[in-house]
Amino acid sequence: METIRITGGRPLRGTLAVQGSKNAVLPILAATAAIPGRFLLRNCPAIRDVTVTLALLAGLGLRTTMEHGLVTVDSRGPLGSASDPALAGKLRSSVLLLGALLARLGEAEIPLPGGCVLGKRPLDLHLRGLETLGVRVCPENGRLLCRGRPEGGTVILPYPSVGATENLMLAALGATGPVCLIGAAQEPEIRDLAAFLTDCGADITGAGTPCIRIRPAPLHGAVHRILPDRMEAATWLCAAAATGGDLTLTNLLPDQLRPVIDVLRRAGCEITESQTSLSLRAGSLQAPGAVVTGPYPAFPTDAQATVMAALLRASGVTLFQETVFSNRFRHIPALRAMGARIETTGDLARVRGVSALHGAVVTATDLRGGAAMVIAALAAQGESQIHDAWHLDRGYGDFILRLRALGAEAHST
């Protein structure tokens, strides 16, 4: 999508099945390069980051197909160790091929990865962790060259980086001895990666806690169903809350979305849940108090922009503190252009509710920031245009179709 046009003011109503998780499927796809075998992955989202990852895998020599949420990968043939720079530059998670290729081949060559520009995104935790496992790391002309089969050992992560935890889990699959990760990330997507690897024969304990242990084990192909996408779910809930809507989501695990549900409840939304579904009825919104992002199980940084957009008309003042990324307020100028009152200082944003928003022409800055602009446009009076809407293709499948199915007046070019 280049541009999304939205005429706002219509409440979103209806039922939607949440797609499979972007942040779970990407490390799992990287893992298929680490293990020779055949893989069948169900509930895969039809998003650009998956298409790009499949192309990256094909470039390494894996055979892949994707149809109706079903991905197959055959990684039994010979593999190259260098990934395509143009493709790898398009997404941050391409860095996970480092761990996967080191596990399988004992060498890997990766261009410095891309992804959303959310501030400084160094790879020091990934690389120091790999060095602790005996891998030699040489950055060279915008590429990372890594050599050496990982050894067993203990890696202490000073910050629970999601990507570094995943990369080290993948490298550990090929290690000559047991690997212990201390200070690991605890996100549900880490648990899903561990569940997939366990299906492949890996011996992993502790995923979902700060201490993960991986012991050497024979590995093989597997069938796995990808976790539902808690960030896509948060986006739809925020869109319903912002527009005074009434929405039921199926195929999600509400427990993994607890901090977002709590904020929306405190803001006045009526939310009922079962184990795998959730219904939201929006009332008149009030400021729910402070929203502070942090590593799981704290409030997720990926829902900061969308929840902010949902609360632009909530009465009172909502304070947002972004503690995970140094530059994740890039959506705010666009929200201001639609009439929002937001002041920022450092990692704080203070949102004072306004009685109405109006349409505007804005430009998406990143995936979730773009989704926040869409939510504000849905709640605004009049027409909005969101340019550079390709950012949304990275993480939302059939986005316009799904918006329209819920009653939105939305078009894309």
**23 near ligand UD1 (CB under 6 A):** yes
**68 near ligand UD1 (CB under 6 A):** no
CB 391 within 8 A of CB 364: yes
Rounded to an integer, what distance in angstroms lies between the CA atom of residue 334 and that of residue 314?
Answer: 18
Q: 3-class secondary structure for 5-68?
A: EEECCCCCEEEEECCECHHHHHHHHHHCCCCCCEEEEECCCCCHHHHHHHHHHHHHCCEEEEEC
CB 186 within 8 A of CB 157: no
Residues 248-274 as b/e (b if ≥16 CB within 10 A, e otherwise) read bbeebbbebbebbbebbeebbbebebe
**331 near ligand UD1 (CB under 6 A):** no
Q: Which of 5, 90, 126, 313 binds ligand UD1 (CB under 6 A)?
A: 126
Strand partners, 140: 143
Amino acid (1-letter code) at residue 265 = R
Toward ligand UD1, which CB reaches closer, 121 or 402? Answer: 121
Toward ligand UD1, which CB reaches closer, 115 or 359? Answer: 115
409: helix, strand or coil: strand
Site residues (CB under 6 A) for ligand UD1, limited to 141-180: 159, 161-164
C-alpha distance from residue 322 to each of 39, 119, 123, 214, 243 (Å): 38, 12, 20, 32, 25
**120 near ligand UD1 (CB under 6 A):** yes
Q: Which of 39, 196, 299, 325 binds ligand UD1 (CB under 6 A)?
A: 325
Residues 6+ apart with CB under 8 A from 28: 41, 192, 193, 196, 224, 226
Q: How far is the CB of 245 from ligand UD1 (least distance, A)?
A: 25
Q: How far is the CB of 95 from ligand UD1 (least distance, A)?
A: 8
Out of 44, 116, 200, 238, the active site residue is: 116
Toward ligand UD1, which CB reaches closer, 126 or 402? Answer: 126
Residues near ligand UD1 (CB under 6 A), total: 20
**48 near ligand UD1 (CB under 6 A):** no
Q: Which of 104, 121, 224, 391 binds ligand UD1 (CB under 6 A)?
A: 121
Q: Which of 78, 122, 142, 346 binds ligand UD1 (CB under 6 A)?
A: 122
Toward ligand UD1, which CB reaches closer, 169 or 337? Answer: 169
DSSP H or E segment with residue 391 = helix 390-393
**391 near ligand UD1 (CB under 6 A):** no
Q: Which of 18, 25, 26, 98 binds ligand UD1 (CB under 6 A)?
A: 26
Phi, psi of 34 (to 5 degrees): -80, -25
Q: Give, to the nearest 10 degrees, the angle between helix 230-242 and helix 367-379.
A: 20
Tokens of 69: 């949420």
Site residues (CB under 6 A) for ligand UD1, limited to 82-111: 92-93
Q: Which residue has the tokens 């929200």?
A: 335
Q: How far is the CB of 248 from ligand UD1 (least distance, A)?
A: 25
**6 near ligand UD1 (CB under 6 A):** no
**306 near ligand UD1 (CB under 6 A):** no
Toward ligand UD1, which CB reaches closer, 302 or 393? Answer: 302
Residues 6+ apart with CB under 8 A from 329: 322, 344, 349
Q: Which of 324, 342, 362, 379 binds ligand UD1 (CB under 6 A)?
A: 324
Q: Give, to the nearest 10 degrees, the angle between helix 22-31 and helix 230-242.
A: 160
**302 near ligand UD1 (CB under 6 A):** yes
Q: Which of 19, 81, 301, 304 binds ligand UD1 (CB under 6 A)?
A: 301
Toward ligand UD1, which CB reaches closer, 50 or 241? Answer: 50
Q: How many CB atoms lie within 10 A of CB 192?
A: 24
Toward ligand UD1, which CB reaches closer, 232 or 302? Answer: 302
Closest C-alpha among 376, 373, 319, 374 to residue 350? 319
- Catalytic-residue membership of 44: no
Toward ligand UD1, which CB reaches closer, 21 or 243? Answer: 21
Query: Hey, which residues are catalytic here?
Result: 116
Binding site for ligand UD1 (CB under 6 A): 23, 26, 92-93, 120-126, 159, 161-164, 301-302, 324-325
